[in-house]
Amino acid sequence: MSEQTPSPATPGGNGKLPLEDIVIADFSRVLAGPYATMLLADLGAEVIKVEGPAGDDTRSWVPPRRPDGVSTYYASINRNKKSVVLDFKDPDDLRTAQRLAHRADVVIENFKPGGLRKFGLDYESVAEHNPTVIYSSITGFGSQGKGAKYPGYDLIVQAMSGLMSLTGDPEGPPYRAGISVFDVMAGLHSTIGILAALRRRDHTGEGAHIEASLMASAMSGLVNQTHAYVGGGVTPMRMGNAHASLYPYEPMPTADDDVIIACGNNVQFQRFCEVLGIPEIAEDERFADVGDRTERREELRPILEEALSRHTAAELFEELNAVGVPCGPINTIKQGVEYAEELGLEPVVQVGSGDGAVPGVRHPLSFSTLQPRYELPPPGLGEHTEEVKAWLSTEPAEGSTS
């Protein structure tokens, strides 16, 4: 859209990020869509975030706040974007929104199904002017059938999908997950769909309409739990921190703190028992196989806990990992970030430059040939409105929608 700071060249690369020639008109709000477009923006896409006069809801979701008062929720999913304010009730603003959709390579939205039709911003209307557009819709429960009328809130989907029935103490109430897990999944699934559709467009020249719903993402993302019912006729229920198909695979007490033990196979269990000084337990026919241990967990538990009580959590972390048995402490978010730093994962990056730089969380992928960019801090409301309007007033390059 406009001149950008070139991405630094990296070994094996030419300094060009893979999505630098892609313009995304982002009509999405809150989490799923903005998370998807931020990931794409990190890889070079020009993301134009369209907001109403009141701005994205997450701008007001506080606390917590950054030191400058900006919502950390909003900041977590909106770097590398340009913000324009457009009021669809205003004819001039609506025409600007339509011109943007007609110029974009990708349009992403999470309005209620059919909600953009009256503005001429639905897929059919946009594709009439921009036939090669990749149009990505995110809904709560799909755009067809009775689910189309339900608003798509992650908490509702956590409840209705069955996730909450799996989360919490078996004797207590259902619990939501600590993050909006299906919003994140739907954002990731949308990202996969957009990239697949762009790849197909490279070959065919055809656009596409992609839909991801939180409920469909839940059905897929619950993986073994949904398949327990679909494939085995079993309805899983919450087991606290226990795993339905593995034991030990949960927090376990030591001489001081609880520690996570994750024995995923017989070899790991044998090594676990050797470290605990009870190698004979791994050879006991009652516990020798994964299924036997799982079915007899209540018989095995006191044996393991007695042996664990002779070790501290720190000792076990070192000794078990040294022999290839997964083990880890239960950290706070602060401790988790600090540990990622100890591992050399460099989880914290500076977004922007100079006095305007702000901290952010690193893009989750690493590449041998390029580095994701961290050029633009999360934009202020309408910060780039005039810049985008000026760009839209120019003619697109020949042979390009953008």
Q: Tell me how far apart the alpha carbons of residues 135 and 197 are, in angstroms, rounded to a whole number.
A: 9
Q: At residue 167, what are phi and psi to the nearest 5 degrees?
A: -115, 125
Active-site residue, from 26, 56, 122, 183: 183
The rounded distance, in Å, linking the Cα atoms of 71 and 358 is 13
Beta-bridge partners for 327? 261
Instruction: Tell me the C-alpha to C-alpha distance, in Å, between residue 21 and each of 2, 88, 112, 166, 189.
Output: 11, 27, 29, 43, 22
Euclidean distance between CA atoms 122 and 111, whole angstroms: 10
Query: 2-11, long-range: CB within 8 Å, 24+ apart, which pairs?
Result: 2/387, 2/391, 4/46, 4/375, 5/375, 7/44, 7/370, 7/371, 7/373, 8/371, 10/367, 10/369, 10/370, 10/371, 11/368, 11/369
Calpha distance 194→197 (Å, rounded): 5
The yes-or-no answer on residue 202 being catalytic is no
Residues carrying an active site annotation = 183
